[in-house]
Amino acid sequence: AQTVTQSQPEMSVQEAETVTLSCTYDTSESDYYLFWYKQPPSRQMILVIRQEAYKQQNATENRFSVNFQKAAKSFSLKISDSQLGDAAMYFCAYSAGGNTGKLIFGQGTTLQVKP
């Protein structure tokens, strides 16, 4: 069975600094997708970034980038120039290729941004 593990329940970062959130996963599939979702206090789930497993290039979205290490089954999220609005719970998620509706989520990391 596929699993997703986030080993950092809480992280904090100073405003304008950089922080990296860790995620590891386990799967025997070769075709899959990885995601980072943000859940602010409003509880709305917001897609931050997505990575296709077949792509070697790390995905980036403005201040957000990932370090995708397929052999190590690691998928970390780097947030650069952290802003107060980045404070939220961040979930790493996995889905097997072909059905991104069946997401397997990690436990989540609560990110605090200090002014």
Partner 1 sequence: GAVVSQHPSRVICKSGTSVKIECRSLDFQATTMFWYRQFPKQSLMLMATSNEGSKATYEQGVEKDKFLINHASLTLSTLTVTSAHPEDSSFYICSARVGPGNSPLHFGNGTRLTVT
Kindly list the residues in this chain that would bind partner 1 in the complex (CB under 8 A): 33, 35, 42-47, 50, 52, 91, 97-108
Q: Which is nearer to partner 1, 18 or 60 (CB)?
A: 60
Give 78: exposed, middle or buried? Use CB within 10 Å, 0-12, 13-18, 19+. Answer: middle
Q: Which is nearer to partner 1, 62 or 115 (CB)?
A: 62
Q: Measured at the alpha carbon of residue 44, what is the angle toward residues 37 and 23, in degrees to the nearest 5?
A: 20
Q: Which is nearer to partner 1, 4 or 13 (CB)?
A: 4
Q: Give yes or no for a contact between 79 and 87, defined as CB atoms under 8 angstroms apart.
A: no
What is the smallest separation between the CB atom of 79 and partner 1, expressed in angstroms?
Answer: 19
